[in-house]
């Protein structure tokens, strides 16, 4: 027996030093839902994640934005009136239907008014009725943030809509596990969406406030006609027309048990968890087979495309190459290419473009934009430093791509990139919610949650030549789309630039009569002046001001 003590101590010590492989148990529930369990013994809390395959990319055109709306209104909060059938439940359903009718009537009335502004309108009376209905609904809503069922139990929840999946993540104390299963099952059975109109208004307001985005321009130009190329901002009218009952119907069709994965990380065993999950989430009904979304094929070599736009606060170069989906054998090689080019402070773009040449102040690269289930984009996002043009930056980027394709990759650089990816993998494993997200996305994008672990093993076995071959096959002009973003000089936040615009306009007005020509001249002048440093611009401003009549200075 005395021997047991040192053995135990040694075993605990060993446990402390040797990294364990990721242990995931998988089961299939009766209704087709998948359950993954990662045991983390002794944790007093757990992480529970629901992943639904098929995100924004699978939305039919009339319901574009539905995944984002479901993330906000179905999974963003957990109000009792959305789950527990109560005395006033019938009232709430009736009010939601009335609200839907009034919202639709107001929308149509506004469209009619736009076509014929002189015609008599019923909008004010409809709006008054809507206000009455909404105030009656609010009386049925919970009034305290602690009425949220998870918050009251110390929990946290968040939901995320991606192009390939909808993820709903919850963290709760361990004793609330069965409560979580029951609540999620009830949520999916009821699909009440009581705060639908608020969520839609807030989504529309967010989209309007962020305005046009450079990344959306790139996606649209690089992936024309593809759901991955869609910009939600272009679908505001259909989002405004989307009704409560449409979204409910969409949720019932798309949030099916056979497209759902339940991922649990916590101090559980499969024996204790499985019966509870079966009892609640395993009894969700399976709707009749729907049609799988068929996405149009897109050729990677559509030709070299260029877009120039005046947008945002500063000049920016976005370059996207059409790349294969996560299933493709070259996908991992491209992941390593991104790591070598932009993964960390010693990566090639950071070293060459930021530190040594000072051409850009920020360089990022990302893979699988906006998703990895279908062919998407590999994107380089570069922000030029003051005094450097987009053309210079573009040339330098292409030169780095050519180096990667042609020159042998040094061993130390290769090992550094691998070490960074391994450390990143360990960090993901260490945090339950991050691990669940990674497993869920591997399943939603690549069809297999094991890719989380397999990818890192395959990366270790990859040869540098494979990276170069993939770079030569995919990072080529015919796969490329370039977006050159220049800030709009007339909405500039830079005080020197705003002053330059004023002075140039005043000077141009004395010489050019045509306003369009004048505006073009000022824009071009500002574009040229951006190549100068701040001090040179200030000096130029003073010189230009000196040419103005004293009363105009």
Partner 1 sequence: MKSILVVLLAFSLSLRAQPAAQGFSLPNGLRVVLLEEHEHALVRANLHLRIEPGDVPPSRQGLPLLFHRMFDHAETADLKAGELDRMLEDSGILLAQSMEPGGLTWRLVARSRDQDRAMGLLADRLMRTLIDPSILEAQRLACRRQVERPEGSPHARLRQALTQDPASRPTLDSLNAIRLEDLLTFRAKVIRPERAILILHGDLGLEQAKRLVMLSLGSWAAQEPPSPRNPPPSAATAPAPSAPADAPRIPDPGKGIRIQAMASRPRDLAPEAAELLNLLVPGNAGLLSVQVAIENGWLLATLDGESGTPGSHLWSLLQERLEALRRRGFAQDDLDRARVAWFARRSLDSLHPEAQMDRALAEALGYGRSDERMKALSLDALNTGLRNWLDPAKLQMGASGDPGDLKTLPTL
CA distances from 544 to 3, 269, 339, 523, 552 (A): 90, 76, 46, 16, 12
Among 162, 482, 164, 470, CA closest to 324: 470
Half-sphere exposure of 444 (CA within 13 A, CB side): 29
Q: What is the CA radius of gyration of the chain?
A: 28
Instruction: Measure the CA–CA gap between 46 and 277, rounded to whole angstroms.
Output: 14
Contacts of partner 1 in 433-452 (CB under 8 A): 433
Span near partner 1 by CB under 8 A; candidates 87-95, 125-133, 154-162, 227-235: 154-162
Binding mask 158-197 for partner 1 (x = CB under 8 A): -------------xxxx-x---------------------
Residues 6+ apart with CB under 8 A from 15: none
Tell the smallest beta-carbon distance from residue 429 to partner 1 (Å).
6
Both tokens assigned to 368: 């699988």
Helix (H) or strand (E) holding 49: strand 45-53
Kindly tell me which of 61 and 493 has the beta carbon lying closer to partner 1.
Answer: 493
Q: Does 146 bind partner 1 (CB under 8 A)?
A: yes
Contacts of partner 1 in 210-249 (CB under 8 A): 210-211
Tell the smallest beta-carbon distance from residue 492 to partner 1 (Å).
9
Kindly tell me which of 36 and 221 has the beta carbon lying closer to partner 1.
Answer: 36
Instruction: Measure the CA–CA gap between 531 and 290, rounded to whole angstroms.
Output: 56
CA distances from 259 to 251, 254, 374, 516 (A): 12, 8, 17, 55
Tell the smallest beta-carbon distance from residue 140 to partner 1 (Å).
12
Tell the smallest beta-carbon distance from residue 214 to partner 1 (Å).
13
Contacts of partner 1 in 248-287 (CB under 8 A): 265, 267
Instruction: Measure the CA–CA gap between 151 and 157, rounded to whole angstroms.
Output: 8
Burial class (CB in 10 A: 0-12, 13-18, 19+), 299: exposed
Instruction: Measure the CA–CA gap between 101 and 243, rounded to whole angstroms.
Output: 9
Q: Does 299 bind partner 1 (CB under 8 A)?
A: no
Instruction: Measure the CA–CA gap between 129 and 537, rounded to whole angstroms.
Output: 57
Binding residue (CB under 8 A) for partner 1 from 23, 144, 291, 511: 144
Binding residue (CB under 8 A) for partner 1 from 286, 391, 427, 546: 427
Bridge partners (DSSP) listed for residue 263: 36, 49
Q: Number of residues in contact with partner 1, rule: CB under 8 A?
A: 72
3-state SS, residue 304: coil
Instruction: Measure the CA–CA gap between 65 and 48, rounded to whole angstroms.
Output: 25
CA distances from 433 to 45, 171, 179 (A): 12, 8, 19
Contact 13, 225 (CB under 8 A): no
Contacts of partner 1 in 457-496 (CB under 8 A): 491, 493-495
Binding residue (CB under 8 A) for partner 1 from 110, 156, 539, 552: 156
Span near partner 1 by CB under 8 A; candidates 51-59, 126-134, 428-436, 524-532: 428-436
3-state SS, residue 25: strand
Kindly tell me which of 41 and 61 has the beta carbon lying closer to partner 1.
Answer: 41
Binding residue (CB under 8 A) for partner 1 from 3, 21, 119, 209: 209
Contacts of partner 1 in 61-90 (CB under 8 A): none
Q: Does 3 bind partner 1 (CB under 8 A)?
A: no
Contacts of partner 1 in 344-373 (CB under 8 A): 344-346, 351, 355
Q: Does 516 bind partner 1 (CB under 8 A)?
A: no
Binding residue (CB under 8 A) for partner 1 from 141, 274, 450, 505: 141
Binding residue (CB under 8 A) for partner 1 from 34, 35, 38, 47: 47
Contacts of partner 1 in 121-140 (CB under 8 A): 138
Kindly tell me which of 163 and 417 has the beta carbon lying closer to partner 1.
Answer: 417
Kindly tell me which of 8 and 546 has the beta carbon lying closer to partner 1.
Answer: 8
Measured in degrees and rounded to the nearest 5, phi and psi for residue 198 equal: -65, -40
Kindly tell me which of 255 and 340 has the beta carbon lying closer to partner 1.
Answer: 340
Instruction: Measure the CA–CA gap between 225 and 246, rounded to whole angstroms.
Output: 24
Kindly tell me which of 63 and 170 has the beta carbon lying closer to partner 1.
Answer: 170
DSSP-derived secondary structure for 109-126: HHHHHHH-TTS---HHHH
Kindly tell me which of 108 and 491 has the beta carbon lying closer to partner 1.
Answer: 491
Contact 24, 432 (CB under 8 A): no
CA distances from 465 to 337, 413, 471 (A): 11, 14, 10
Contact 474, 466 (CB under 8 A): no
Measured in degrees and rounded to the nearest 5, phi and psi for residue 412 equal: -65, -35
Tell the smallest beta-carbon distance from residue 3 to partner 1 (Å).
11
Tell the smallest beta-carbon distance from residue 16 to partner 1 (Å).
4
Tell the smallest beta-carbon distance from residue 529 to partner 1 (Å).
16
Burial class (CB in 10 A: 0-12, 13-18, 19+), 447: middle
Contact 319, 397 (CB under 8 A): yes
Binding residue (CB under 8 A) for partner 1 from 84, 108, 426, 543: 426
Both tokens assigned to 310: 């005046």
Tell the smallest beta-carbon distance from residue 243 to partner 1 (Å).
22
Binding residue (CB under 8 A) for partner 1 from 178, 431, 465, 524: 431
Tell the smallest beta-carbon distance from residue 173 to partner 1 (Å).
5
Kindly tell me which of 288 and 495 has the beta carbon lying closer to partner 1.
Answer: 495
Contact 266, 47 (CB under 8 A): yes
Contact 24, 449 (CB under 8 A): yes
Kindly tell me which of 3 and 549 has the beta carbon lying closer to partner 1.
Answer: 3
Binding residue (CB under 8 A) for partner 1 from 60, 62, 154, 290: 154
Q: Does 12 bind partner 1 (CB under 8 A)?
A: yes
Contacts of partner 1 in 396-425 (CB under 8 A): 412, 415-416, 419-424
Span near partner 1 by CB under 8 A; candidates 91-99, 208-216, 251-259, 283-291: 208-216
Binding mask 520-549 for partner 1 (x = CB under 8 A): --------------x---------------
């Amino acid at each position: 027996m005395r021997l047991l003590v040192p053995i135990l101590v040694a075993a605990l010590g060993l446990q402390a030093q040797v990294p364990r492989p990721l242990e995931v148990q998988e089961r299939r529930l009766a209704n087709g839902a998948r359950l993954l369990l990662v045991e983390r013994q002794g944790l007093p809390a757990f992480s529970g994640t629901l992943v639904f395959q098929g995100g924004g990319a699978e939305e039919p055109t009339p319901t574009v934005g539905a995944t984002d709306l479901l993330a906000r209104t179905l999974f963003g909060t957990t109000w009792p009136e959305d789950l527990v059938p109560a005395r006033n439940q019938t009232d709430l359903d009736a009010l939601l239907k009335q609200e839907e009718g009034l919202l639709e009537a107001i929308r149509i009335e506004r469209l009619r008014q736009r076509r014929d502004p002189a015609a008599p309108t019923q909008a004010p009376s409809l709006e008054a009725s809507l206000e009455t209905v909404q105030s009656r609904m609010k009386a049925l809503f919970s009034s305290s943030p602690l009425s949220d069922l998870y918050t009251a139990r110390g929990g946290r929840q968040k939901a995320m809509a991606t192009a390939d999946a909808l993820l709903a993540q919850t963290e709760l104390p361990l004793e609330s596990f069965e409560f979580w299963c029951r609540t999620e099952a009830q949520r999916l059975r009821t699909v009440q969406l009581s705060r639908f109109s608020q969520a839609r208004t807030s989504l529309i307001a967010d989209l309007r406030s962020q305005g046009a985005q450079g990344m959306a321009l790139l996606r649209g130009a690089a992936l024309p006609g593809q759901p991955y190329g869609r910009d939600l901002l272009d679908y505001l009218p259909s989002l405004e027309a989307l009704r409560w009952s449409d979204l409910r119907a969409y949720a019932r069709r798309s949030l099916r048990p056979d497209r759902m994965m339940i991922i649990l990380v916590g101090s559980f065993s499969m024996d204790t968890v499985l019966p509870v999950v079966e009892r609640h989430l395993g009894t969700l009904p399976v709707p009749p087979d729907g049609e799988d979304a068929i996405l149009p094929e897109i050729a990677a070599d559509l030709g070299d495309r260029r877009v120039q736009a005046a947008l945002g606060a500063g000049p920016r170069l976005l370059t996207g190459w059409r790349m294969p989906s996560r299933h493709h054998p070259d996908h991992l090689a491209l992941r390593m290419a991104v790591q070598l080019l932009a993964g960390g402070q010693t990566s090639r773009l950071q070293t060459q473009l930021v530190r040594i040449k000072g051409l850009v102040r920020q360089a990022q690269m990302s893979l699988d934009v906006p998703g990895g289930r279908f062919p998407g984009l590999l994107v380089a996002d570069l922000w030029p430093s003051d005094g450097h043009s987009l053309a210079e930056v573009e040339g330098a980027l292409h030169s780095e791509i050519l180096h990667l394709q042609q020159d042998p990759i040094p061993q130390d650089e290769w090992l550094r990139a691998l070490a960074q990816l391994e450390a990143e993998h360990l960090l993901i494993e260490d945090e339950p919610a991050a691990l669940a997200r990674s497993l869920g996305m591997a399943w939603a994008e690549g069809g297999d949650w094991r890719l989380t672990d397999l990818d890192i093993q395959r990366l270790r076995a990859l040869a540098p030549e494979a990276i170069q071959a993939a770079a030569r096959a995919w990072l080529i002009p015919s796969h490329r789309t370039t977006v050159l973003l220049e800030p709009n000089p007339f909405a500039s936040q830079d005080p020197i630039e705003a002053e330059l615009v004023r002075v140039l306009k005043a000077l141009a007005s004395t010489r050019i009569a045509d306003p369009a020509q004048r505006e073009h001249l000022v824009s071009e002048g500002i574009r040229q002046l951006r190549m100068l440093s701040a001090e040179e611009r200030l000096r130029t401003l003073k010189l230009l001001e000196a040419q103005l009549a004293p009363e105009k200075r």
